[in-house]
Structure 1
Amino acid sequence: MTESLTLYAGDRLAQARALAGLSDEALRVRAITAARDKSFEDLWALTLAYLSSETSAGVKLSPHTLRAYRKGLEVLLEHAAANAWNLLHPGRREPALYVAALSASGLKPATVLARVAAAGALYRALRWAGATDADPFADVKRPKDRTRGVVKNPPYREEFVQALLLEADPHEAALLLLLAHAGLRIAEALAVTWADVNLPGRRLLVAHGKGDKARMVPLSARLREALGVLQAQPHQASDFVLPLRAYSSAYERLQKLALKCGREHEFRGFHAGRKYAGTQLYAAVKDFTRVAGFLGHEQVDTTRRYVELPEDDLNDAVEHF
């Protein structure tokens, strides 16, 4: 059930249509019943239908985002059951106490924010269904994370990337380089098709980036070589460059590669590879705007959180003041 909801947009659209196609009264009654019973599966179906039909991303919401919303709903319902919440009419102070409880449990601010975002999505879905007018998290204060993302999860180091490439098979090398040289998000990397690849032109089309925005990405010599190796393999039956379709499969593949290299303690998922690409490009061009375009960021301030600057970056600049 989870895999189909998370990974296949057709199922999500069909489910959204099933709920949205109900009469207003039938949808309202179903939502009220689900909230009364604190039924996880029914409330998740309602939230998913709302997210799929009423948000700008719609059925193209990333699997990562959907997993975060699903987990957030699960945590909220556990808290609501333990504290006798009336979901449709929560006490005025209950949402703030929920956020405080999340923080007190030791969760990082970013995780707390993700849980609150999921709670907000549930209540938007309940309002969409006509079950309530409540918007209990609208004015709740969120925790602020004072530590920059690039400090908490810095880019991979050059020696780590090179060590993995030495041991990688052709598909692993292509995956790693799509992240660390092309700066792709994992969902973007897994979605690359051969029709998107222009090896002679040294360009890659990211056809459906975050927010369904397309962009062109330059290909490094090393990445062109890795893609050329794959392209030359016989019996290339799939339109996709990589055989991996799921986030979890790709994570496990690179995690095992790091273990094979004896560097499993340095593996921190996919985003550190994307930050590596951003940091390397900024070191070459010294222009956050160009790096933002490369990474597919709308706001340059987002890009600043991806780029690790050397501590002595200003030494030469101020030397002869």
Structure 2
Amino acid sequence: MDYAAGQAINLLRPGRHDAQGYINHLLAAGRKPAGVQLKVAAASCLYRALRWAGATDADPFRDTRVPKDRTPGIIKRPPYTEDELADVLEHADVHVKFLLFLTAHAGLRISEALALRWADLDEQARHLLVRSGKGRKARVVAISTSLARAARHYRGLYGPGGPEHTDGRRTTPHDHLFRYGHMMTARYHAQKAFGAAGVPFRGFHPGRKYAGTRLLRQIKDFGRVAAHLGHESVDTTRRGYAQLAADDLKDDLSSW
């Protein structure tokens, strides 16, 4: 509205280039393409409502273009660091600690972690079964030595036959690993642990990105990392979940 008033634009009868001029103005002011896209979506909704009400026939944003943001997702939304995770683990309860291991080592989505059942976890063979990942695809995921150790400890407390499972104060359903029935509940408890550690909580996905980045730097194979994370396309892994260090090739080039 302020832009329209400042440019003397009639909102019901905008000129041919007014909408693109608005987009260019936002970009020139330093707005990110993703934020500009949201503005355009809101403005398009407004004009759909105005057309429905018979106030105008204009559809000024129909042929406008917002440039793509070429910044990789892992740069815009980076993974947690090793130190951040270590600090949080010191302040987390058993449930949150094990949940963080599943996201940051097994690379599970939060929905996949919360859906795990005891029968899906085999800490002796060091793998777990994701029954219904994104796109309802199942996959077997290898787990780290430290995650397997945490799983044995967690099973001893909360697994079938464990003290917290049989004493009348059971905190997990009979067949599920976690007491959390919803992601928001898990988020609430995780935020408390992050707050106690003085680490900003940015959701569970940065833990998953930590798994992707650490594994890629170790094995240098996007295909295997994509399989670990359950990505159908390696491009998804490359754009938003794993990144090689800037000086990754220095040892390979040292003998040139």
- TM-score norm. by structure 1 comes to 0.58
* Aligned residue in 1 for 2:205: 271
Once the two structures are TM-superposed, the CA of residue 194 in structure 1 deviates from its matched residue by 1.3
RMSD value over aligned CA atoms? 3.4
* Aligned residue in 2 for 1:53: none
Question: 5+ unaligned residues in a row in structure 2: which ranges?
Answer: 1-10, 45-59, 158-162
Q: Whole-Å Cα distance in 2 between the matches of residues 227 and 117 of structure 1?
A: 45
Q: Whole-Å Cα distance in 1 between the matches of residues 38 and 136 of structure 2?
A: 21
* Aligned residue in 1 for 2:91: 167
Equivalences for 1:88-107 in 2 at 5 Å?
A: 100=23
Q: Whole-Å Cα distance in 2 between the matches of residues 316 and 179 of structure 1?
A: 31
Q: Higher relative contact order at CA 8 Å, sep ≥6: structure 1 or structure 2?
A: 2
Which SS does the other structure have where 1:216 is aligned?
A: strand
Per-residue CA deviation, residues 139-183 of structure 1 (Å, 9 max, x unaligned), is: 653441121111112221111111111221110111111110010
Once the two structures are TM-superposed, the CA of residue 246 in structure 1 deviates from its matched residue by 2.4
1:255 maps to which of 157, 170, 191:
191
Q: Whole-Å Cα distance in 2 between the matches of residues 295 and 220 of structure 1?
A: 14
Which SS does the other structure have where 1:241 is aligned?
A: coil
Q: Whole-Å Cα distance in 2 between the matches of residues 199 and 258 of structure 1?
A: 27
* Aligned residue in 2 for 1:54: none
Equivalences for 1:1-321 in 2 at 5 Å?
A: 100=23, 108-110=32-34, 141-233=65-157, 234=163, 235=165, 237-238=172-173, 239-264=175-200, 267-305=201-239, 306-321=241-256
Give the counterpart letter for 1:162 in structure 2: A
Tell me which structure has the larger Cα radius of gyration.
2
More helix by share: 1
State the number of aligned residues: 219
Which SS does the other structure have where 1:303 is aligned?
A: helix
Question: 5+ unaligned residues in a row in structure 1: which ranges?
Answer: 1-82, 85-90, 121-135
- TM-score norm. by structure 2 comes to 0.72
Following superposition, which runs of at least 4 residues in structure 1 exceed 4 angstroms of deviation? 103-108, 111-120, 136-140
Which SS does the other structure have where 1:155 is aligned?
A: coil
Per-residue CA deviation, residues 223-259 of structure 1 (Å, 9 max, x unaligned), is: 1222222222221551221112323222222222111
Q: Which deviates more from structure 2 when the two are superposed, residues 309-318 or residues 233-242? A: 233-242
Is the CA contact 1:207–1:213 (under 8 Å) kept in the aligned structure 2?
yes
